């Protein structure tokens, strides 16, 4: 298949990749509208717990980059499941790490004798500075752990353990702190045999969260959510959509964060876009086919969050061809690739930026290396799509992949109605 592309070369180093791309914006095709626009566009960003190591990304970077002023909700990844109960996944990162003064949001070094340190203490400080920013804990774990926890004999106790620890603040013996405004459930993925227990698990979360809704500080954010926010992360592609009645799920949850990415990636030798909005191939699964599947499956548009990847995928040894490395064979590269990877690759002598005119997805190809990623132009197309369908907002995986000045976030949030962090918070 041939592709009409936009081919660019990077000029001065001062020109950022997003600015370079923005000059070549095109209007994406307008999808069919299913619902009225949501009153508020949510911008939900995942914070990666593990990024604390080697000082790669820590909570104060949300302030330094300006990211905190573009998001309405921060989902902290992650908590785990053990013995059918919610547990702190990494005590060192979450509660024990001693932050230096220069790394701490309040500019004060952690006292090693204080029970609560680590990322959780920094989230506590972040809440104080930005009181209208919602912060959720994301519960993640293997499929079989969720299957077991959702069984009738385990369900209520499992949910209680999550709520007691993370919403009521009983983090550990001698460690009390109310940090979170809700729970994000990342069950990957409930199948047809799990459907009834999945519905019941979400309903149990809703029941127990509503029972203590009066304890929620998120009510002051002025959103329509019912006290504590209940969200889920759900899969892209029909195989993850059709086993579930999404209307039933939506009766319990406030947000359905659809992981509309990883349509191509390093598990295959075939190059492609990680998050294409659409495709000229009628058999291809894309963001559009996925969201259409959720809407047809009963999910209200206003509860859907469009997944946005802030990472990149790369293949090496990609032979030149008519599509400039797209839909070709190569050797996939695994690792932490993001916006800095794209900026570095554009400095290569033969690097060129191309764009699919239908999906507005960019890619870089230098005659050997192929990189798929997001930029300001592709995000503008996705913004238009979200607004035209009345989708509730965006879900970003994950925030550390952005530039040091949050270029992707700022491009994505450019037309959001407001940021909960920016309203009512103190200046950094």
Question: Residue 191: is its pLDDT beyond 50?
Answer: yes
Q: For position 54, what pLDDT does the model report?
A: 77
Q: Would you give the DSSP letter of residue 8?
A: B
pLDDT confidence band for 383 (50 / 70 / 90): very high
pLDDT confidence band for 320 (50 / 70 / 90): confident
The residue ranges of DSSP E strands in 318-360, in sequence order, are 331-333, 352-355
Least confident span in 25-39, 114-128, 191-205, 269-283:
25-39
Mean pLDDT of the chain: 88
Angle of the 376-389 helix axis to the 287-296 helix axis, nearest 10? 20
Domains of the chain as residue ranges with CATH:
31-311+379-412 (3.20.20.80)
Question: Residue 165: is its pLDDT beyond 80?
Answer: yes
**DSSP letter string, 204-216:** HHHHHHHHTGGG-
Determine the 3-state secondary structure of 259 from DSSP: coil
Q: What is the pLDDT of residues 66-86, one digit of tens each?
A: 999 999 999 999 999 999 999
Q: For position 17, what pLDDT does the model report?
A: 45
Average pLDDT estimate for 363-380: 97
Q: How many helices (H) and strands (E) does the chain have?
A: 13, 16
Q: For position 121, what pLDDT does the model report?
A: 98
Beta carbons of 271 and 330 less than 8 angstroms apart = yes
pLDDT confidence band for 415 (50 / 70 / 90): low
Q: For position 377, what pLDDT does the model report?
A: 97
* C-alpha gyration radius of the chain: 21
Beta-strand relationship, 362-365 and 370-372 = antiparallel
Q: For position 322, what pLDDT does the model report?
A: 77
pTM above 0.85, yes or no: yes
Q: What share of the chain is helix, strand, coil (3-state, %, to 5)?
A: 35, 20, 50
Question: Residue 220: is its pLDDT beyond 60?
Answer: no
């Amino acid at each position: 298949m041939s592709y009409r592309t936009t081919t660019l070369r990077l000029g001065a180093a001062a020109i950022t990749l997003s600015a370079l791309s923005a000059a070549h914006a095109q209007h994406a095709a307008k999808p069919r509208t299913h619902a009225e626009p949501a009153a508020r566009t949510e911008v939900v960003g995942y914070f990666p717990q593990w990024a604390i190591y080697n000082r790669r990304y820590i909570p104060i970077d949300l302030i330094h980059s300006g990211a905190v002023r573009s998001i309405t909700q921060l989902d902290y990844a992650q908590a785990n499941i053990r013995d059918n109960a919610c547990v702190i996944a990494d005590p060192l990162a979450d509660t024990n790490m001693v932050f230096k003064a220069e790394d701490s949001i309040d500019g004060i070094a952690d006292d090693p004798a204080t029970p609560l340190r680590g990322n959780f203490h920094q989230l506590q400080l972040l809440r104080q500075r930005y009181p209208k920013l919602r912060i959720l804990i994301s519960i993640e774990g293997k499929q079989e752990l969720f299957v077991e926890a959702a069984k009738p004999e385990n369900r209520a106790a499992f949910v209680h353990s999550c709520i007691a620890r993370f919403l009521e603040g009983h983090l550990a013996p001698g460690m009390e702190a109310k940090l979170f405004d809700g729970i994000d459930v990342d069950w990957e993925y409930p199948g047809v045999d799990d459907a009834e227990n999945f519905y019941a698990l979400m309903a149990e979360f809703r029941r127990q969260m509503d029972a203590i809704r009066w304890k929620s500080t998120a009510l002051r954010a002025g959103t329509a959510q019912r006290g504590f926010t209940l969200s889920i992360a759900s899969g892209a592609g029909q195989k993850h959509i059709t086993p579930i009645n999404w209307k039933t799920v939506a009766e319990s949850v406030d947000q359905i964060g659809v992981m509309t990415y990883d349509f191509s990636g390093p598990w295959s030798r075939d190059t492609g876009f990680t998050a294409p909005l659409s495709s000229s191939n009628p058999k291809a699964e894309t963001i559009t086919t996925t969201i259409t599947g959720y809407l047809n499956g009963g999910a209200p548009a206003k509860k859907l969050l469009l997944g946005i990847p802030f990472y990149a995928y790369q293949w090496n040894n990609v032979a030149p061809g008519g599509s400039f490395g797209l839909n070709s064979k190569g050797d996939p590269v695994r690792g932490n690739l993001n916006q800095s990877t794209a900026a570095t690759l554009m400095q290569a002598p033969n690097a060129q930026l191309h764009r699919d005119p239908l999906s507005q997805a960019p890619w870089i190809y230098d005659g050997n290396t192929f990189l798929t990623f997001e930029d300001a132009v592709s995000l503008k197309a996705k913004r238009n799509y979200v607004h035209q369908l009345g989708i509730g907002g965006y879900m970003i995986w994950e925030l550390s992949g952005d530039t040091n000045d949050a270029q992707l976030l700022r491009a994505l949030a450019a037309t959001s109605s407001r940021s909960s962090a920016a309203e009512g918070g103190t200046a950094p």
